[in-house]
């Protein structure tokens, strides 16, 4: 896995802003853009620039966002990021109930990560106007395995149960290339959502 060296949180924000602008130009009808980034052993993943992974917002998550924002549905207590190993791209029909099976979520404590639950995504205090992220407080995974494990993507869900099907799914993304992680790696995942107005 290629990794970058010293890069600041502001560098991450600027890189995501450039990515969102390019995606807006390519998809002028869209107004919500989610982006994942990663760190391995404290260093951002990427060859010569930060490697960003655009997400798909499944229908279940979009409906939940509208129901919470403008309807009467209670906000989920938290959001959690799950790792998956399946060589599959997310689909709009993915739900929290079928995520683990569709994506082949990594749920192993011996060939995966040691944390008992999906790590919680916590909002940073200084996100930009129109965006929310966890820059500087990325979800952390302690990799445990006999040699290496492969991770192909991530999902954000409202349940912290590894492999659990409760709650709703907000986002999912497949990496451009498989991440091969080694025993003892400290792996981190960040997520930022940006809303724009026409």
pLDDT tens figures, 54-80: 899 999 999 999 999 999 999 999 999
Q: Is the per-residue pLDDT at 163 higher than 80?
A: yes
Q: What is the pLDDT of residues 4-41, one digit of tens each?
A: 544 678 788 888 888 888 877 787 776 778 899 999 99
DSSP state, 145? -
Which tops the pLDDT comparison, 128 or 64? 64
Residue 48's pLDDT is 61
193, 69 contact by CB (below 8 A): no
Rounded mean pLDDT, 100-125: 96
Which of 146, 171, 189 shows the shortest CA–CA distance to 44?
Answer: 189
Rounded mean pLDDT, 172-183: 96
83, 115 contact by CB (below 8 A): no
d(C-alpha 111, C-alpha 144), whole Å: 6
Instruction: Give strand ranges (E) for the chain.
Output: 32-40, 43-44, 53-54, 79-84, 112-113, 120-121, 131-133, 139-144, 148-157, 169-182, 186-195
Which tops the pLDDT comparison, 21 or 149? 149
Rounded mean pLDDT, 127-134: 80
Report the run of H or E that residue 62 belongs to, with start and end.
helix 59-70
Which of 173, 135, 160 shows the shortest CA–CA distance to 58?
Answer: 173
Q: What six digits make up the tokens of 50?
A: 């930060």
Rounded mean pLDDT, 42-46: 85
Could you tell me what percent of the chain has a pLDDT over 70? 92
Could you tell me what percent of the chain has a pLDDT over 90? 68
Name the average pLDDT for the chain.
Answer: 90
Residue 84's pLDDT is 98
Q: What six digits make up the tokens of 123?
A: 């909002």
- Which range, 2-6, 126-130, 141-145, is most confident? 141-145
170, 65 contact by CB (below 8 A): yes
d(C-alpha 127, C-alpha 129), whole Å: 7
3-state secondary structure of 56: strand
């Amino acid at each position: 896995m290629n990794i970058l060296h010293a890069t600041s949180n502001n560098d991450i924000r600027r890189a995501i802003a450039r990515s969102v602008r390019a995606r807006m130009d390519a998809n002028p009808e869209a107004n919500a853009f989610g982006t994942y980034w990663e760190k391995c052993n404290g260093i951002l993943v990427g060859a010569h620039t930060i490697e960003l992974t655009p997400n798909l917002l499944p229908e279940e998550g979009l409906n939940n966002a509208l129901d919470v924002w403008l309807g009467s549905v209670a906000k989920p207590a938290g959001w959690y990021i799950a790792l998956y190993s399946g060589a599959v791209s997310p689909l709009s029909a993915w739900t929290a109930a079928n995520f683990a099976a569709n994506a082949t979520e990594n749920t192993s404590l011996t060939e995966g990560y040691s944390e008992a639950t999906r790590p919680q995504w916590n909002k940073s205090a200084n996100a930009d106007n129109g965006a929310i992220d966890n820059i500087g407080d990325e979800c952390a995974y302690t990799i445990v395995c006999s040699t290496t494990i492969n991770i192909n993507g991530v999902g954000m869900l409202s349940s912290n149960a590894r492999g659990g099907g409760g709650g709703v799914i907000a986002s999912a993304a497949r990496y451009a290339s498989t991440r091969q992680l080694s025993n003892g790696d400290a792996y981190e995942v960040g997520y930022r959502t940006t809303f724009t107005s026409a």
